[in-house]
Structure 1
């Protein structure tokens, strides 16, 4: 089946679209990547999304307009990607996350508070504009089962990237970092031993810092070159790692609600107090992302992996990758490209697969990663009229 996967992550860089040919079910899943591209948001739309993620209030009519505007650009991305390719049979659209609240376990005598996660870009609108069946709202089913609704990719990583004899960590570095721990398939009941959680900030603080330090003239640190010219302050990194989230055991999830503008401002108070220049500030924030990943592995994995595979935008940050390799040595740190799966479009590919599984009535979540009480079908089905 030819399927398009669509996602815009917490970095709001643009819409990643992947066209894949999928066959099999789950244990015999086969995926062939045919095409991929990233479609930037119109400037005003991106600014509006970022403002809302930072806490800007909006009315219900404004919310409806934004939902439709995001759906329109998602539909246009799907339409553009399928030009010169055979007819696509299905779209899986993650949409744009604008708010994420993890569930709260309140203990005996108190009712738990369900999580909540809002992705804009209505699947029904995408289906009607493209005339292609569309699956969206993937996180709601897991959240209803008392899960975090995130991360949803570990089940896919398990079937596509696990190894017969080698344990691996698949580390996505988007706006937020998340990991899937994959034991070797030689272990009995290996799928039950797969774990996953959000490790903390990925690119979110780095991109915000670059925008702040350049008065908005730059949006990211290309290849990590600016950070590489500085010197990280390890004492500050240790201080920042005392944040409660880093000590919280999995399953856990986070977002810009924690690691966003307000968090950055607190970090900048610390860097200014030590008179760190811009390069040293970026190097220190980059070190926080790297150190939070390493801390997460050392604190919560049953054992360190034998290989780490990076994906997402942060995998292109050469300085970040080098620092991660240095801290994890002698464990090799590569990208998923090096084992045959596009690092740039892996998340979009994942939501194509989740849509495919939904049409086959196969569960998409992994309860030990999301905290859900059971495996559930993920996504709402929207058929064009």
Structure 2
């Protein structure tokens, strides 16, 4: 048994999810026990700085270095706090804070231009030289593992996405392999749907006959990102999210608007694919607000319509790209607590039960943090952490860079 801390702050930038996990086994015999889970909010000023960078604010290299250090310090403090009252951990797996994500160009990437020309999200040409291959993806997570290891004294594994991207993958989602070993079922196909700022799915077929090779995973589109941004906009910053989805539940979705939004290119790109606030961020919300003007929606109706987009885009992804619909869907992440969103998913999925991972013994709130504890544990054992069927990488690879702690 090994005590491992998993740390992650997702695209909602709500704070740092920390999980202290007791892990044993390897893969098929993997066992975990969540000893402690806590979310440590960012200081308001640090959160605003992160959100500004995610929204494309230009900063100097000195400011970037300072932000990187501030995030690392906050992650180290979370790691120290989560151990209070428990035996010290021997390993930390830190995903860090994503501030920029660019998938690889080409099939499954966010931008595809015409013949002989590679184009970005905004359809502008990306110049890489005549005859040069399409570039690898790029993903930047702040909160250096070396700083966390130095401050905590605990060996820290971080920068998990880099090796998958170097192998031609999206670098995301990285959790499906963990989901496979913790949440698969011998007879039932399952979708594990994480709803953070961005939604992502792991499709896990019944655990038989080369099942691991049939697992799929990709980012489905917006999760809470547009909802949180809309609440912030509608309340002039007084609120940052719609608790339980109560405000949205008091409104009525505008279905013609949802159908219009579902025409967005990303929803129709085949997996593997990944996305982030670079697409479903402030500029996207402003376009949604402009589109909604002719319908004269109330604030509640607007939130209901944005919630419907999240639900409908998830179901569209399932029906379009899965080999077959699952027997069950299990939600996790902050969006799993949005009761109205969960209700709309259940309506759209009809007879397929929509549950949370809590109901099969894995914390819906801290599943992503648990997953990065497992990925760090695997990296330490020399076990690959990615699934090429989910990320599009050319091969399985070891994920994460190791920074030794002073206690080792």
TM range (shorter): over 0.9
Counterpart of 1:305 (choices 317, 321, 326) is 326
CA offset at residue 271 of structure 1? 1.3
Task: Please say if 1:121 is aligned against 2:143.
Answer: yes
Counterpart in 1 of 2:173?
151
Identify unmatched segments of 5+ residues in structure 2: 107-111, 117-130
Deviation for aligned residue 1:87: 1.5
Tell me the residue number matched to 1:28. Answer: 29
In the other structure, the counterpart of 1:327 is: 348
Match of 1:247 in 2: 268
> Which residue is 1:370 aligned to?
391
1:212 to 233, 255, 258: 233
The CA distance in 2 between the partners of 1:255 and 1:316, in whole Å, is 21
1:173 aligns with 195
Whole-angstrom CA distance in 1 between matches of 2:173 and 2:63: 29
2:283 corresponds to 1:287? no
SS at match of 1:200: strand
| Bigger mean CA deviation after superposition, 171-180 or 19-28 | 19-28
DSSP 3-state at the match of 1:253: coil
Q: 1:131 maps to what in 2?
A: 153
Whole-angstrom CA distance in 2 between matches of 1:43 and 1:228: 28
Deviation of 1:270 after TM superposition, in Å, equals: 1.3
Q: Kindly report the root-mean-square deviation, in angstroms, between the aligned alpha carbons of the 2 structures.
A: 1.0
For the residue of structure 2 that corresponds to 1:35, the secondary structure is strand
Q: Following the alignment from structure 1 to structure 2, what is the Cα–Cα distance between the partners of residues 148 and 220?
A: 29
Distance 2:85 2:181 in 1: 30
Counterparts of 1:110 and 1:66 in 2: how far apart (Å)? 34
Q: Secondary structure at the match of 1:45?
A: helix
Unaligned 5+ runs, structure 1: none
CA deviation after TM superposition for structure 1 residue 113, in Å: 1.0
The corresponding residue for 1:40 is: 41
2:359 paired with 1:338: yes
Give the whole-Å Cα distance in 2 for the aligned partners of 1:358 and 1:26. Answer: 12
C-alpha deviations, 1:164-216, integer Å up to 9, x for none?
10000000000000000000013x10000000000000000000000000000
Q: C-alpha separation between the residues in 2 aligned to 1:287 and 1:87?
A: 44
Residues in 1 aligned to 2:37 and 2:99: alpha-carbon distance in whole angstroms: 24
* Most deviating of 265-274 and 222-231: 265-274
Runs of 4+ in structure 1 off by over 6 angstroms are none
Distance in 2, Cα, partners of 1:112 & 1:374:
19
- Equivalent residues, number: 384
CA distance in structure 1 between the aligned counterparts of 2:295 and 2:207, rounded to whole angstroms: 48
